[in-house]
Amino acid sequence: MSDSKRFSGKVAVVTGAAGNIGLATALRLAREGARIALMDVDEGKLAATLPKFEALDAEARTYPFDVTDPGAVSRAIGEVVQAFGGIDLLFNNAGYQGAFTPIQDYPEDDFERVLKINLCGAFYVLKACARQMMTQGGGAIVNTASMAGIGGPPNMLGYASSKFGIVGLTQTASKDLAPHKIRVNAISPGLMGPGFMWDRQVELQAKAGSQYFSSDPKEVAQQMIGSVPMRRYGDIEEIPGVVSFLLSDDASYLTGVNIPISGGIL
């Protein structure tokens, strides 16, 4: 845990801020001095995060809205600029895992929903923040991709497609925005646990009944951990430091990269 205040006075937007990775990262950025705009569709969960920022004596405001609505995104970003005076950093992280089933059974409506949240939503937020950063002469952005967007795991068609999309979004946006002194990078968490996402994927991979995993969730957990060179899942707390690094001036010559946080899976 860093006790530097390298983001003192900077304004950071965090989406998916009521979730595990978003909240842990928002708290890390707040500890490092950033003023935080917390965004999530889950209004109740989002409001419940505020005491954690108060305890740090950090400035934080909540913006409940759905990232799939470009009008709502643009309104929320406008409100952030009004309240904070600008936007310097973005952790573009809201996401949804979608269904676990082979392509022949994969539901069209779920595929569209996953793409809408994970990819279109990330595009809308990135575009709105980048336009603001351009007026300020620069900024730094980190998108949350996934190892599913590198390897294409079985039974996760919507999720993998959306996260491959995030890698493309990151690479092209990094080139388009380099002339504006805005860096755009991504992180790719692998198997993170314990918690809801871990339990859900272990259970749903078991239920999907494919040749790749056992039908017993306990065995699926072992199979997954056995595929990790470090032979353990990652802790959520192993993510915020990497995001903070990418958003900081220590990463001033890094743009367009996607860092795996995966215990050695590449």
Ligand X SMILES: NC(=O)c1ccc[n+]([C@@H]2O[C@H](COP(=O)([O-])OP(=O)(O)OC[C@H]3O[C@@H](n4cnc5c(N)ncnc54)[C@H](O)[C@@H]3O)[C@@H](O)[C@H]2O)c1
State the residues that interact with ligand X by CB under 6 A: 16, 18-22, 40-42, 66-68, 93-96, 117, 121, 144, 146, 189, 192, 197
Q: Which is nearer to ligand X, 68 or 210 (CB)?
A: 68
In the bound state, the residue with its beta carbon closest to ligand X is: 19
CB of 21 to ligand X, least distance (A): 3
| One-character DSSP codes across 157-203 | HHHHHHHHHHHHHHHHHHHHHGGGTEEEEEEEE-SB-SSHHHHHHHH
Helix (H) / strand (E) containing 141 = strand 139-144
CB of 68 to ligand X, least distance (A): 5
Q: Which is nearer to ligand X, 39 or 133 (CB)?
A: 39
Kindly report whether the peptide bond that precedes residue 194 is cis, defined as omega within 30 degrees of 0. yes
DSSP state of 120: I
Neighbours of 66 (CB within 10 A): 15
CB of 9 to ligand X, least distance (A): 27
Burial of 116 (0-12, 13-18, 19+ CB in 10 A): middle
Q: In whole angstroms, give the CA distance from residue 240 to residue 26.
A: 8
106 is catalytic: no
CB of 5 to ligand X, least distance (A): 25
Q: Which is nearer to ligand X, 96 or 245 (CB)?
A: 96
User: Of the listed 159, 212, 233, 253, which one is catalytic?
Assistant: 159
Residues 6+ apart with CB under 8 A from 55: none
Q: Which is nearer to ligand X, 73 or 87 (CB)?
A: 73
Helix then strand then coil, in percent of the chain rounded to 5, is: 50, 15, 35
Q: Which is nearer to ligand X, 92 or 101 (CB)?
A: 92
Q: Which residues are catalytic?
A: 159
